[in-house]
Amino acid sequence: MHDDDHHDVLARRAAAGDSAALDALLRDHIALVHAVCRRILGNPDDALDATQEALLSIARKIGSFDGRAKFSTWVYRVATNAALDEARRRGRRPVPTESLPEPGASTHGPATDAAIADRLDVDAALARLTPEYRAAVALRDLVGMDYAEIADVLGIPAGTVRSRISRGRAALADLLGNRETPSEHPTG
């Protein structure tokens, strides 16, 4: 069975009060829900708060999921809204909170260090964008939604989605030094 169909079945069971089905759904989606929140908020603590809010919201509102959209689309819509709400609540721009370990002091392997460095780069690059721009990037590059789905989730035209994704990627590409003269990017 296709993942979406499988999740739709689980969603119906969860809506009928099947806790095991709800737990299975959350287990399948929590990693990406957290990743989306993390990408939008750029801060691990805020991301955890938003993830918790998103999961609670999914669990409480599963009864209202009508099956018209794919379950995954509904889940990431809830997650995106939770993250954007959290960003508005905090009223602050995301800042990378993890610091690179001192040379020679690393307790991680080289691969982990590289991953942390990459994440810092990503967070730093995306910090130049507003949460709404980051949401489009997250839904495209993390979740894999097409432009039309993202437009539907965010309630914006597909052309705007394209522009936001482009700017997110360009910001990171600029930071990584692929362009000698970085262009101006919206900062909110």
Question: What are the residues binding other proteins (CB under 8 A)?
Answer: 14, 17, 19, 22-23, 26-27, 30-32, 34-35, 38-39, 44, 47-48, 51-52, 55-56, 58-63, 115, 118-119, 121-122, 125, 137-138, 140-142, 146-147, 158-159, 162-163, 165-173, 176, 178-179, 183
Please count the other Cβ atoms lying within 10 Å of the Cβ belonging to residue 149: 21
Instruction: Pull the structure tokens for residue 47.
Output: 């991301």
Burial of 134 (0-12, 13-18, 19+ CB in 10 A): buried
Least distance CB 180 / other proteins (angstroms): 9
Shortest distance (Å) from residue 70 CB to other proteins: 19
CA 180, CA 188: separation in Å to the nearest integer? 24
Closer residue to other proteins (CB): 29 or 84: 29
Residue 92 or 179 with smaller CB distance to other proteins:
179
Cβ nearer to other proteins, comparing 104 with 107: 107
